């Protein structure tokens, strides 16, 4: 498979201004430079509070960079996230960027199955196709069938996280962002998530992830970027 650059960050900076606390400024990310290619997994490491989640939110268009350039491939075009119109962010999220956040956003009365199927239905899959894929993922992630028709708001932390993962892997994303998806999972389910990530890589996703588990990092990571040290390395630890 041909590799292709899917994310390109150049001289990227992020500063937060705390308007309600005397305008105190926090320099979170300074002069970041990296590329993410299709079929590879780039791992962001660094101490707590160093800006790892902030970076994923910038790639997803939740946070705006203070300066620099952050481009994401959308079909044959590059979208500059530092200047993207809300409409193109919506389009990007529908077709080009998947995001497995740390916590599931549950919606009252929406069943687990419907929540997991949604990304596929938004892309025009038939209900049968979407349902078959959702059931396969929920089974692989060991969510008992009796829970599939319930809204996940009352599920345990680990169950909610697995529903979130099923939703994230429902369709093939050109860019897939993962914020500690294995944090509260047991070994069996961690291994399933590693398999899903390997399948997504083989299908050509450019993955960008944060993983606290060293074994997961070693199994899935191709390059590691230390946010605190501001350097990229081919050695994953």
Ligand X SMILES: Nc1ncnc2c1ncn2[C@@H]1O[C@H](COP(=O)(O)OP(=O)(O)OP(=O)(O)O)[C@@H](O)[C@H]1O
Q: Where do contacts with ligand X occur on this chain (CB under 6 A)?
A: 16, 18, 26, 28, 46, 48-54
Grouping H, G, I as helix, E, B as strand and the rest as coil, residue 40 is: coil
CB of 176 to ligand X, least distance (A): 17
Binds 50: which of Mg ion, ligand X, none (CB < 5-8 Å by kind)? ligand X
Binder to Mg ion among 38, 45, 53, 161 (CB under 5 A)?
Answer: 53
Span of 29-37, 51-59, 80-88, 89-97 interacting with Mg ion by CB under 5 A: 51-59
Q: For residue 29, which of 60, 63, 1 has the smallest C-alpha distance? A: 63
Span of 46-54, 57-65, 127-135, 153-161 interacting with Mg ion by CB under 5 A: 46-54
Q: Which residues pair with 6 in a beta bridge?
A: none
Span of 34-42, 52-60, 115-123, 224-232 interacting with Mg ion by CB under 5 A: 52-60
Q: Where are the alpha helices (DSSP H) in the chain?
A: 52-60, 86-95, 112-122, 127-140, 157-168, 187-202, 214-220
Please report whether residue 45 would count as binding Mg ion according to CB under 5 A: no
Q: Which residues contact 106 (CB under 8 A, 6 or more apart)?
A: 115, 151, 152, 153, 160
Q: How far is CA 86 from the centre of its chain?
A: 19
CB of 14 to ligand X, least distance (A): 8
In this structure, what token pair is assigned to residue 88?
């193109």
CB of 53 to Mg ion, least distance (A): 3
Q: Which residues bind Mg ion (CB under 5 A)?
A: 53
């Amino acid at each position: 498979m041909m590799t292709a650059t899917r994310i390109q960050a150049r001289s990227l900076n992020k500063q937060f201004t705390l308007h309600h606390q005397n305008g105190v400024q926090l320099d979170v990310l300074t002069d970041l430079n990296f590329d993410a290619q299709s079929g590879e997994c780039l791992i962001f490491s660094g101490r707590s509070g160093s800006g790892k989640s902030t970076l994923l939110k910038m790639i997803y268009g939740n946070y705006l960079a203070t300066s620099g350039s952050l481009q994401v491939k959308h079909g044959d075009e590059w979208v500059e996230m530092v200047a993207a119109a809300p409409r193109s962010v919506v389009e990007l999220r529908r077709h080009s960027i998947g995001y497995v956040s740390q916590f599931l956003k549950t919606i009252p009365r929406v069943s687990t199955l419907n929540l997991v199927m949604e990304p596929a239905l938004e892309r025009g899959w038939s209900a049968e196709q979407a349902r078959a894929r959702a059931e396969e993922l929920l089974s692989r992630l060991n969510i008992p069938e009796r829970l599939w028709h319930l809204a996940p708001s009352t599920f345990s932390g680990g169950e909610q996280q697995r529903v979130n993962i099923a939703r994230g892997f429902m369709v093939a994303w050109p860019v897939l962002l993962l914020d500690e998806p294995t944090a509260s999972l047991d070994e069996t389910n961690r291994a399933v998530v590693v398999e899903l990530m390997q399948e997504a890589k083989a299908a050509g996703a450019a993955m960008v992830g944060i993983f606290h588990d060293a074994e997961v990092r070693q199994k899935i990571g191709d390059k590691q970027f230390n946010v605190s040290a501001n350097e990229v390395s081919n050695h994953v630890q």
